[in-house]
Amino acid sequence: MKKHIVIVGGGFAGINLIKSLVNDNRFRITLVDKNNYHFFPPLIYQVATSFIEASNISYPFRKMISNYKNVNFHMSSLVKVDHEHNILETDNGIVKYDYLVLALGTESNFFGMENVKNCALPMKTIDEALYLRNYMLLTLEEAARNRNIKAAQKLQNIVIAGGGPTGVELAGMIAEMGSYIAEKEYPEIKLHLSSIYLIDALPTLLSPMSKMAQEAAYEKLTKLGVKIILNVAVKDYVDGKVMLADGKTIETETLIWTSGVIGREVPGIPQESIGKGRRILVDAYNKVNGTANIYALGDISLQLTEEKYPKGHPQLAQVAIQHAKNLGKNFKRMEDKKALIPFEYNDKGSMAIISKFNAVVDLPKFSFKGFLAWLTWLFIHIIPLVSFSNKVRLAFNWLRLFITNNPSIRLILRPKKDTSGHSKF
């Protein structure tokens, strides 16, 4: 009998696990995801800022697996795990499994701030990135029409909460596009009224990276006109005002939230198997504590068994990819009655782009910045894309956009629903 492996989540972990088991006749694989496509999260900020199309970093699951004989796709959302009866409940039916792999990733963490949750703009999914793109373009149009100086300033102010790689990259992109595009295409807007704020509760930007990377990001963003506020947390967002922990406020209609993540909820997993940040506790083989045949990979998993990472592994794409490859080997070893291989993370470094021709790269033994780091960033972010056509399209688009400094996809697309609930344009 083929073992049925059900994978929930088609991100880095889910896709790489499929690749490690593809066409192995001992396994039947079902991929469960609420979307019908895989996408590349590190570049989602470029979708949100109208720099690239969503299709440049996305690829349909069914096309991806069309040549995989042992893989099926089930489009649905997880509702509950019944670990006693090996059943996954979804909003489109029940799926039985021999092994269940949870690779759902994370969602934005608003730290209990309901106003921020309801009014801020997160950027974790393609849907959220496209909504943010439309929102910022509509806000620019409103600012161009507004003759009230105070109201126009509020519309033009952008606050980004979170000074990690996403916040830094987003701030740099918006600042550069503002200088290249806004002055030329929005002559009605008085640019001296607009400000970009980057806020973080920690004392540095890019806190997990080297001091060189932190200082380079701070210096370059400051030159681009970004107002950086450190050691201060966002506490609330009321009536278009961002409330800071030090008592100060910033008036803005645009609060972009990149400040933290929390594991997605998985009802049915034993409560004692849930750790800090709602991550799922796993052993050295990524098996969920307190279960017999459920595994968790990537950002949602929390492994405390590796000596070098006593607080768990960083929530990075490389961890998810390495998790998946190791678990794929272990599934095969289980079938071969061989000893399993405990997971050990191989840190390959981290990087962030700050602006055009400027990035920072931290490798295990040294760090560097500037143009070479920028080229490295471009290369590393093209390689993991799923299809060759996506790689070529993105490379061509980047070349054109970095030469012209003027993306042409700033389209405000607003599908509406009719009374029957169907979308119309």
Q: Which two tokens stand for residue 34?
A: 């609420």
Which DSSP string do the residues of 116-184 spell out, in sequence order?
A: HHHHSEE-SSHHHHHHHHHHHHHHHHHHHH---HHHHHHHH-EEEE--SHHHHHHHHHHHHHIIIIIHH
With a CB cutoff of 8 Å and minimum separation 6, the contacts of 220 are 172, 354, 355, 358
pLDDT at 421: 43
Is residue 240 over pLDDT 80? yes
Q: What is the mean pLDDT of residues 330-355?
A: 94
Where does residue 393 rank: exposed (0-12), middle (13-18), buried (19+ CB within 10 A)?
Answer: middle
- Domains of the chain, earliest start first: 3-108+261-335 (3.50.50.60), 114-259 (3.50.50.100)
Q: What is the pTM of this model?
A: 0.91
Q: What is the mean pLDDT of residues 255-284?
A: 95
Q: What is the mean pLDDT of residues 26-32?
A: 97
Is residue 418 over pLDDT 70? no
231: left (phi over 0), alpha (psi -120 to 50) or beta: left
Q: What is the mean pLDDT of residues 228-254?
A: 96
Q: Which residue has the tokens 């961890």?
A: 319
Is residue 10 over pLDDT 90? yes
**pLDDT digit string, tens, across residues 172-199:** 999 988 777 777 788 888 767 789 999 9
SS3 202: coil
Beta bridge partners of residue 250, listed in sequence order: 242
